[in-house]
Structure 1
């Protein structure tokens, strides 16, 4: 696998999710420091909630989990935190599901492809440069300037196909 074809996937076998979570927080803190962004307590808590699982989570579920932790945030507070995290490239918004998932490589290109299993809900993130290049070339042919194109593919993962 090259840097040009980066795969982030729970579909591919063994995965140490606790390491994944702690590494995501370290990367987020470093990225915010580099960019001069402030990762407030509520933003960090929202990030931790999103990274507590690999399946996408909706804004309402994030709000419920914040409340379960003893916070009383108004819905706009959670939405602002989610918007900040998306803008900072620390999480992705999965448009077709109206949900969010952690971004394992915020320093990389966000022209990616998501493969979403309809059975288990897991999502694999693939950054295939050939796909990204084809999208950019198509946009250029149209005189269109694309901004972080994302493709979402729904189907059934290998594990669910075997069940």
Structure 2
């Protein structure tokens, strides 16, 4: 993973920090309530951990933080909370990294598209309407009924590009 959470991208690519995380948490709470579900203390804390990470975390990274907060150290604690968040559109699983990230837009259903930096492994949830529409058309043309899709694109984030450019200037 990257050097520090501050250097990683996430749902707030402008790195605006605390206020967007609070807004995302409020949207998540509203969504859960509207679906007749509960954001239990362990589920809420798991979502907060993902929001604070500004990137993707493995289940055991989440478990370590949950245990430090007194929620237990058994893997099912983290996996149950993560599965609830994913199943209810509050988090996403990034298969390429075998990790989880908070959903940037938990207030509405949407297809997820992720930009994953191959250098620092930061994750940014990108607008996916156009990609999702194109995928839907392609599936329909093939006679395929699409039920869900997660798009994971790999490249370099702006911070790593800038760092690489700065390093090249230093060498020259």
TM-score by length of 1: 0.86
Q: Which residue of 2 aligns with 1:5?
A: none
Q: Which residue of 1 aligns with 2:153?
A: 153
Indicate if the aligned counterparts of 2:27 and 2:107 stay in contact, CA closer than 8 A.
no
3-state DSSP class of the match of 1:89?
coil
Shift of 1:134: 1.2
Q: In terms of mean alpha carbon deviation, does 125-134 or 56-65 score higher? A: 125-134
Q: Which residue of 2 aligns with 1:3?
A: none
Are residues 1:78 and 2:78 paired?
Answer: yes
Deviations 1:111-157 (A, max 9, x none): 23211112232222222322111111111122211122111011111
Runs of 4+ that moved beyond 3 A: none
Are residues 1:24 and 2:24 paired?
Answer: yes
Q: Which residue of 2 aligns with 1:144?
A: 144
Between 1 and 2, higher relative CO (CA 8 Å, sep ≥ 6) is seen in: 1
Indicate if the aligned counterparts of 2:28 and 2:107 stay in contact, CA closer than 8 A.
no
Q: Which residue of 1 aligns with 2:108?
A: 108
Q: Distance in 1 between matches of 2:36 and 2:109?
A: 20
Indicate if the aligned counterparts of 1:92 and 1:101 stay in contact, CA closer than 8 A.
yes
Indicate if the aligned counterparts of 2:32 and 2:38 stay in contact, CA closer than 8 A.
yes
Larger Rg computed on CA atoms: 2
Indicate if the aligned counterparts of 1:110 and 1:148 stay in contact, CA closer than 8 A.
no
Q: Which residue of 1 aligns with 2:94?
A: 94
Q: How many pairs align?
A: 153
User: Relative to 1, partners in 2 of residues 1:108 and 1:28: Cα closer, same or farther, differing over 3 Å?
Assistant: closer
Structure 1 runs not aligned, ≥5 long = 1-7
Shift of 1:9: 4.8
Shift of 1:25: 1.6
